[in-house]
Amino acid sequence: MRNLAVGESGRVVRWLGKSPAARGARAFGLMLFALACRWPAAAGEDPRPAPEEARLKQIVARLASPEFAGRSGKGGEKAADYLVGRFKELKLAGLFDGNYDQSVPGLNADSPGGRNVGAVFRGQDPALRDEWIVLAAHFDHLGVRRGRLYPGADDNASGVAMMLEVARSIVHGPPPKRSIMFIGFDLEEIGLFGSRYFVEHSPVPLDRVKLFITADMIGRSLAGVCPKHVFLIGSEHAPALRDWVKDAKKSPSLTIGTLGADLLLLNRSDYGPFRAKRVPFLFFTTGESPRYHTPDDTPETLDYPKLARISQVIHQVVARALVAPTVPKWQDAPSHPFEEAVAIRDVLVLLARNKDQLKIGTAQLFVINSTLRTLEPILERGAITPDERTRVIQQARIVLFTVL
């Protein structure tokens, strides 16, 4: 059907008809057509599309299929090509001087190299377009070992699916003020090599990167017993981002557990190199499950409604970062919220409740109960001191490293 130009009142009247009854009937039909096509969006309605469960499921199934050979070696090359294809479908420009690939050398002559894949969507605000938001996920996994395929559905096809769906949603939404990079990192599994190389060879000065967001394993639950939880790490260095995440969470079926990165001791994913450069970051994960790094990490075992809810939260945070007047800055002294104690308590309670399923031994259960006793007065008071936090974190590390 032809579009009707707003200013062409005579042509519109002729199309509607001459009689009042005919004009009324056809005007009503035109209104119904516009509503059906969502043209234009109703007042107050968010015009952005959102990550969709069916699309997420399709991407995970593809990347975790035997065709991609566990996304290592030839399979890794194929996964990188897949990302390039998806970025081109979205009409995104290549991040690296117009190219989509950034070659990543191996540690030495005997170790394999890889390639990061990146695309860019430029902001429209003259004052903000040179500020950058980065959304990333590593696409590599363990490959085929001793003849067995490690599909890597949750680790990390789930994160890649989120990134691609957020990219689609941003591209088809309102024009951003800031610019955004979408990056698929390679070689995460062998020591964060892809993200380390990127940080040392960034296509833009790192002080222009206002926020780095990544997700790694967002399709299951910690230990298989925390079905509602997704964990947020990194907000201790940009505390105002917590409110952004809280505002983005719409579903009561999702619980955001705020944790400090120091709980993990080591950098467990690609946020590490950005953290070392004092770039504000958020890391989303549902944590390790019993299928972690096994051939059983298959597409049909993921919780896709949960993956969709987490992806939608990340999308809302990214969309806000692209248009906000300012983005919360890095602060050196970490700010650990009281909610961290609540998250640790909730996880410990669930672990203890499922001790038989998880085969938690007497010594482990003793540490869990001891930590819960430490938390009792803290939760009752509604505040935690630095010394109390140090003790709780030490005990929680013992639990996490022995149970998972």
Domain's final residue, options 323, 352, 383 = 323
Q: What is the mean pLDDT of residues 116-130?
A: 98
pLDDT in tens, 285-308: 999 999 999 999 999 999 999 999
Residue 310 pLDDT > 60, yes or no? yes
Q: Do 125 and 190 lie in a common domain? A: yes
Q: What is the mean pLDDT of residues 34-42?
A: 39
Q: Do 230 and 343 lie in a common domain? A: no
Residue 22 pLDDT > 90, yes or no? no
Q: What pLDDT was estimated at residue 112?
A: 80
Q: What is the mean pLDDT of residues 397-403?
A: 92
DSSP structure string for 25-76: HHHHHHHHHHHHTT-SPPTT--------HHHHHHHHHHHTSGGGGGGSTHHH
d(CA 13, CA 28): 14
Residue 31 pLDDT > 50, yes or no? no
pLDDT in tens, 363-394: 999 999 999 999 999 999 999 999 999 999 99
Q: What is the mean pLDDT of residues 62-81?
A: 98
- Whose CA is closest to 219, among 139, 281, 291, 315? 291
Q: What pLDDT was estimated at residue 109?
A: 73
Residue 220's SS3 state is coil
Two tokens, residue 114: 């890889």
Residue 24 pLDDT > 90, yes or no? no
Residue 32 pLDDT > 60, yes or no? no
- Weakest-pLDDT range from 104-118, 169-183, 369-383: 104-118
Q: Do 33 and 173 lie in a common domain? A: no
Q: Do 350 and 250 lie in a common domain? A: no
Q: What is the pTM of this model?
A: 0.88
d(CA 67, CA 117): 19
Residue 48 pLDDT > 50, yes or no? yes
CATH of the domain at 284: 3.40.630.10
**Are the C-beta atoms of residues 120 and 180 closer than 8 Å to each other?**
yes
Q: State the residue for tokens 């001790």.
A: 355
pLDDT in tens, 95-104: 999 999 999 9
In a domain, 191, yes or no: yes
Q: How confident is the model at residue 110 (pLDDT cuts 50, 70, 90)?
A: confident
Q: Do 350 and 211 lie in a common domain? A: no
Domain boundaries, position 272: 53-323
* Summary mean pLDDT of the chain: 90
Q: Do 85 and 215 lie in a common domain? A: yes
Angle between helices 304-323 and 53-63 in degrees, nearest 10: 110
> What domain count does the chain have?
3
- Whose CA is closest to 204, among 145, 90, 123, 312? 123
Q: Do 190 and 142 lie in a common domain? A: yes
Q: Which amino acid is at 45?
A: E
Q: What pLDDT was estimated at residue 106?
A: 84
Q: What is the mean pLDDT of residues 211-240?
A: 98
Two tokens, residue 80: 């990188």
In a domain, 143, yes or no: yes
Q: What pLDDT was estimated at residue 12?
A: 32
* C-beta neighbour count of 299 within 10 angstroms: 22
Residue 19 pLDDT > 70, yes or no? no
Residue 281 pLDDT > 90, yes or no? yes
Q: What pLDDT was estimated at residue 17?
A: 44
Residue 132 pLDDT > 60, yes or no? yes
In a domain, 333, yes or no: no
pLDDT in tens, 139-167: 999 999 999 999 999 999 999 999 999 99
Share of the chain above pLDDT 70, in %: 88
Q: Do 136 and 21 lie in a common domain? A: no
In a domain, 132, yes or no: yes
Residue 131 pLDDT > 50, yes or no? yes
Q: Do 244 and 366 lie in a common domain? A: no
